[in-house]
Structure 1
Amino acid sequence: MPKFAEFGSNLYTGKTSLPFIPKKKLWLGISAVLVIIAVLIPVVTGGFKMGIDFRGGSEFTVSDSQSTDVQTGKDAVSKHASASETEVTKIASDTVRVQTEQLSDDDTLAVKQALQKAYDVKADDVTSSYVGPTWGEGVTRQATWGLIAFVVLATVGMALYFRTVKMSLSAIAGLLFTVITTAGIYALVGFEVTPSAIIGFLTILSYSLYDSVVVFDKIRENTKGYRENTKTTFAEEVNLAVNQTLVRSINTSVVGILPVGSILFIGAFLLGAGTLQDLSLALFIGIIMGTLGTLFVSAPLYALLRQGEKPIKEQAERVRQGVADTDAADSGAEISEGTTSGSTRAFGDGSASAGAESAQEGRRSDRGGRRSADSPTPRYDPSGRDKPDNGAVI
């Protein structure tokens, strides 16, 4: 823990810097590949496994059963109905859910009696329900419109809050990365898409935007008045902001993942609470991908969208020129010091040599002061010449 705290402090001050922005094209390229793979997964696997609320069909629930064997339910349905698709799920320690395609009234009654006999329960312990295709289409349509409305309102809200369209578009790009990759993993695992899963997807959209707002707030703070900054470039300030908020993003993700992971792995897999799988998996994967989307998509894309602006290019050139001038001045001072030192040795005047060394040391100290005097927090230097070594509390 102390090492992690020290690592976070170094990230905040700039002593340690991870290359989120310097390697932005690499991260964006990898993200694009992941999105393409996520889109292809449903195509290869035959699409998403839609729940009964979306596709319609008959559903039976067997409660208070001593046995929750899945094959028992499948055999009972196959002997008394001509259903081509039957899915039996253990949703609790004593409860089984059986879902089939639409059955007639006679088949429904026969399957209900067969399940009662197979699981050795009372008649009241077996309930049946039917969801028509019209209901499923309505749920799908409302979920789609809800997602579209969320994205549109989020885009407008982010643009008004940050007062820049490019930052808003970058945040939405990270959001779409989160949704698409999460959906691809969901299709790969084969869990049902239910209304609970849709709720989980909407929740991770909000989480992804929250993480982006935190990072972009720090970016806006660091880049405020960047045109007058002669020490670090706009891209360097953006990268510093991402590093400064990295520990907070990690901590927030861990805090969110712990309870969701407990629901997914303990509640769903170990205890057999199958109804929690669809919701918990969407949240578990979405929280992780939301953090990665902010770090490797939203922030790098924002820097990429702005790197071609004329003021930013001019400011970057001034910073590079200032560094070059400082290096040239230091090189000239070192040559002058060597000449002076040689002359004093020839005449045996050691005091002059000491004076020259003192003057040179003063110039070096003055250079370091100029690099950080106007900055509220130390800034890192990509070349590694100036590394702040003071700590900071995160």
Structure 2
Amino acid sequence: MSRLGDLGARLHRGEVGYDFIGKRMLWYGVSVLITITAIVGLGVRGLNMGIEFSGGAIFTTPQTTVSTERAERLAEEASGHPVLIQELGNGGMRIQISEVDTAKSDQIKAELSKGLAIPADQINADLVGPSWGAQIANKAWMGLGIFMALVVVYLAIAFEWRMAVSALVALIHDITITVGIYALVGFEVSVGTVIGLLTILGYSLYDTVVVFDSLKESSRGILKQNRFTYSEIANRSINGTLVRSINTTVVALLPVAGLLFIGGGVLGAGMLNDISLSLFVGLAAGAYSSIFIATPLVADLKERQPEIAALRRRVLAKRASAAAKGDPDGGDGGGDGDAADDGAGPGDRRSGTGPDNGHRPGDGAPAAAGVSGPPSPRGRGTGRGRPSGRRR
């Protein structure tokens, strides 16, 4: 088994781990700082809206020997507006100028024909009105709203409303960061950007749903045991799916990085840049938020439930009592969220605690905590009151 595979198995068994839940305030602070930076960048610099939203003209020329720098100067002098030029595969150019009406378009076309030594009838001019861009923006916002509503409804039914709320917060976090990066970098917002933003919504939720599913299974029957708090079980669920989340994210980011740095950088600005930047930032932010935002937030919300809070008090009281008696097996997992961080000690791999733990013999609390391993025939309290240790 590879080192990464061995690490994944040890994380799943709870032998090693990182205290994600216990250090959640640190990650909350990091996320707030990143989000504030994105919002400030969005407010100060604003978004560089493409002609699909602001209106303008796109001129497409046939093959020409004139350099892009020369063509850019000609177009700027003729229009009086910033110009975006992309070289085409056939040797031609795509010249994009914002805020240009029909009369101005004809004038620019004539100037380009003269400066580039190309007949005017061979230069194709496409005008885009701002109303069309407004329609696209409205439909995009509508699609985003419908998507989020469906996500909340589905997660509330499949899991619970606390997980639905946490996933929604993580989703808004990812979109805000992606849009803020666009503002800071200065990339043009085009239809490709909208496509990329809508695409990352599903990717953003993928890792979150994987962790939530593991947490749902691990916390089943949690109130029938006194060994682990909900936060500790949530922490084990994150660690158990950590390597899987890293693998899927890296595999998804590699081709997107190829589009962004090779396709956009080598082939020039255009639709590739617009889509790939939003995908790249969104995928990375989605992987981050599923681990550091969504699941810790679920743990915070669940710990506010009276029965979960009572369970926490019972677990801590049991550990305090065991520590006072000097029982090394009494502190099953440590403090808030550090069960996985401490590793699976002798008490983490024992069998169940008898009829009062809500599990079959051999399941034990480790199953509830998302830790697998062979049951020990010498589990404490197994078959309490019955020499055979079996249920009747």
TM over 0.5: yes
Aligned to 1:56: 55
Alpha-carbon spacing, 1:120–1:302, altered in 2? closer, same or farther (3 Å): same
Give the distance between the partners of 2:290 and 2:179, measured in 1 at CA: 17
Alpha-carbon spacing, 1:129–1:332, altered in 2? closer, same or farther (3 Å): closer
The structure with more radius of gyration:
1
Further displaced range: 266-275 or 52-61: 266-275
Further displaced range: 58-67 or 119-128: 119-128
In structure 1, the gaps of 5 or more residues are 334-363, 381-386
Which of 196, 199, 211 is the matching residue for 1:200? 196
- The Cα shift of 1:306 comes to 1.3
Alpha-carbon spacing, 1:61–1:216, altered in 2? closer, same or farther (3 Å): same
SS in 1 for 2:125: strand
Measured against aligned partners, the alpha-carbon deviations of 1:105-144 in whole angstroms (never above 9, x if no partner) come to 4542332233234344455542101111221222222222
Aligned to 1:17: 17
Alpha-carbon spacing, 1:368–1:179, altered in 2? closer, same or farther (3 Å): closer
Give the distance between the partners of 1:296 and 1:63, measured in 2 at CA: 51
Aligned to 2:148: 151
Further displaced range: 124-133 or 47-56: 124-133
SS in 1 for 2:364: coil
Measured against aligned partners, the alpha-carbon deviations of 1:201-255 in whole angstroms (never above 9, x if no partner) come to 0111111112211110001011111001222211110100011111111111111
Give the distance between the partners of 1:141 and 1:105, measured in 2 at CA: 25
Conservation of the 8 A alpha-carbon contact between 1:38 and 1:185: yes
Q: Tell me the TM-score normalized by structure 2.
A: 0.81
Give the distance between the partners of 1:103 and 1:368, measured in 2 at CA: 71
Q: Is 2:3 the counterpart of 1:7?
A: no
SS in 2 for 1:186: helix
Q: Share of identical aligned residues, percent?
A: 35
Give the distance between the partners of 1:374 and 1:327, measured in 2 at CA: 25
Conservation of the 8 A alpha-carbon contact between 1:87 and 1:98: yes
What are the within-5 Å matches in structure 2 for residues 193-272 of structure 1? 193-272=189-268
Which of 131, 134, 137 is the matching residue for 2:134? 137
Conservation of the 8 A alpha-carbon contact between 1:219 and 1:241: yes
Give the distance between the partners of 1:319 and 1:331, measured in 2 at CA: 15
Measured against aligned partners, the alpha-carbon deviations of 1:315-346 in whole angstroms (never above 9, x if no partner) come to 1222233334444555599xxxxxxxxxxxxx
Which of 306, 317, 322 is the matching residue for 2:313? 317
Aligned to 1:76: 74
Conservation of the 8 A alpha-carbon contact between 1:14 and 1:378: no
- The Cα shift of 1:314 comes to 1.6
What are the within-5 Å matches in structure 2 for residues 261-340 of structure 1? 261-272=257-268, 274-328=270-324
Further displaced range: 202-211 or 369-378: 369-378
Root-mean-square deviation (CA, aligned residues, Å) is 2.9
- The Cα shift of 1:370 comes to 5.2
Further displaced range: 7-16 or 188-197: 7-16
Q: Is 2:350 the counterpart of 1:369?
A: yes
Further displaced range: 265-274 or 51-60: 265-274
Conservation of the 8 A alpha-carbon contact between 1:89 and 1:274: no
- The Cα shift of 1:287 comes to 0.4
Give the distance between the partners of 1:143 and 1:74, measured in 2 at CA: 32
Alpha-carbon spacing, 1:317–1:78, altered in 2? closer, same or farther (3 Å): closer
Aligned to 1:41: 41
Conservation of the 8 A alpha-carbon contact between 2:220 and 2:368: no
Alpha-carbon spacing, 1:3–1:389, altered in 2? closer, same or farther (3 Å): farther
Give the distance between the partners of 2:349 and 2:286, measured in 1 at CA: 39
Conservation of the 8 A alpha-carbon contact between 2:257 and 2:276: yes
Aligned to 1:358: none
User: Match of 2:244, as an amino acid?
Assistant: R
SS in 2 for 1:369: coil
- The Cα shift of 1:37 comes to 1.4
Conservation of the 8 A alpha-carbon contact between 2:214 and 2:237: yes
Alpha-carbon spacing, 1:68–1:215, altered in 2? closer, same or farther (3 Å): farther
Measured against aligned partners, the alpha-carbon deviations of 1:184-207 in whole angstroms (never above 9, x if no partner) come to 111111111111110100111111
Give the distance between the partners of 1:29 and 1:205, measured in 2 at CA: 23
Conservation of the 8 A alpha-carbon contact between 1:15 and 1:388: no
- The Cα shift of 1:368 comes to 6.7
SS in 1 for 2:95: strand
Q: Tell me the TM-score normalized by structure 1.
A: 0.80
Bigger proportion of residues as helix: 1
Conservation of the 8 A alpha-carbon contact between 1:62 and 1:95: yes
Between the two proteins, the alignment pairs up a number of residues equal to: 350
Measured against aligned partners, the alpha-carbon deviations of 1:337-364 in whole angstroms (never above 9, x if no partner) come to xxxxxxxxxxxxxxxxxxxxxxxxxxx9
- The Cα shift of 1:389 comes to 9.1
